[in-house]
Structure 1
Amino acid sequence: MTGPPRVLGWFAAYGAGLLGIPEPRFQPQEHDEEDKTMSQQWALTWNVREGTEAEVIRLFERSGRPDHVVRDDEGNVVGLLKRTSVFMRRNTVVRVIEFDGEFLDVAKHMGRQREVRDLERQLDPYLEQERDMSTPEKTAAFFASASMRCVLSRRHDEELSDA
């Protein structure tokens, strides 16, 4: 299997301009067999109350999908959400996001997404520590405080540098 048609990636990055939506500020990345560039990856971590793990898993399994096109406050395309993964170990939750663009733009975008707000509101009663995600700015502040930056991500076909 060769993966999704490349035209879909092109449309996600450039198609907005064809529809009269401002062009993206970020530089879209081609992802083919020769591509050596990597998107950014960040993780968010928090704890839920012990004994609530099964309910938290159920909430994630039933959650919706946010818009993958990241827009700034003026509606300009500034990034692309590529993947979200959630891991749990005991009562610790780690949500990993892969994206093109700037982290704070992505955090604000996530705060504007109904699917994300709904899930976060449903998770609130299970959290060990309260958080305020009532506005995009407060969501971005939570993302900044709970974030883990990726310090290493290697592809199987990357050359190791001597640095």
Structure 2
Amino acid sequence: MPFAAITYDIKAGYEKEISEIFGNFRRVGSPVVKGDDGEEAARILATAVFIREDTMVRVIEYEGDLDTIARHMATQPGVKEVEAKLAPYLTRPRDTDTVEGFVATFRRSLLTCMAQMSVRA
């Protein structure tokens, strides 16, 4: 399964506050992401958030089309809530109020995957 990682430029020293934001995250009811045709287009298998000093990275393990996942995430209430709560802690604002802005920000924040390994069958 592929992984994607997106970065956030944050103010250093707010690890506790940011941890609380993610600790109260409202998860989606299903890992299934549907495409425009209403059929399953992707799955979000796992997520994790890492932080050090002024950098935060969100890792997403997924199946399917990453753009479809980004569009799906843009409409999720929990994701919108996290993005709004993170705003005061960002050193670079993120345009995530619209689906188009969210997807553009997601793409701009995406790290290049250099290597990926898994021992799962």
TM-score (norm 1): 0.68
Q: Per the alignment, do residues 156 and 75 of structure 1 end up closer, same or farther by CA in structure 2, a change over 3 Å counting?
A: closer
Q: Distance in 1 between matches of 2:120 and 2:3?
A: 18
8 Å Cα contact 1:63-1:119 kept in structure 2: yes
| Equivalent residues in 2 for 1:19-34, closer than 5 Å | none
Picking from 1, 9, 13, the partner of 1:47 is: 9
Q: Per the alignment, do residues 157 and 118 of structure 1 end up closer, same or farther by CA in structure 2, a change over 3 Å counting?
A: closer
Matched to 1:134, the amino acid is D
Q: Which residue of 2 aligns with 1:71?
A: 34
Q: Which residue of 1 aligns with 2:86?
A: 123
Q: Distance in 1 between matches of 2:70 and 2:37?
A: 15
Picking from 105, 108, 115, the partner of 1:142 is: 105
8 Å Cα contact 2:13-2:53 kept in structure 1: no
Structure 1 runs of 4+ aligned residues shifted over 6 Å read none
RMSD of aligned alpha carbons: 1.7
Q: Distance in 2 between matches of 1:143 and 1:127?
A: 15
Matched to 1:50, the amino acid is A
Gaps of 5+ in 2: none
Aligned length: 120
Q: Per the alignment, do residues 72 and 136 of structure 1 end up closer, same or farther by CA in structure 2, a change over 3 Å counting?
A: farther
Tell me by how many angstroms 1:90 deviates: 1.6
8 Å Cα contact 2:11-2:53 kept in structure 1: no
Q: Distance in 1 between matches of 2:37 and 2:75?
A: 13
Superimposed CA distance per residue, residues 73-96 of structure 1 (whole angstroms, 9 cap, x where no aligned partner): 343320000000111112210000
Q: Distance in 2 between matches of 1:53 and 1:135?
A: 27
Gaps of 5+ in 1: 1-38, 159-163
Superimposed CA distance per residue, residues 117-155 of structure 1 (whole angstroms, 9 cap, x where no aligned partner): 111111111100011111222111111000013221123
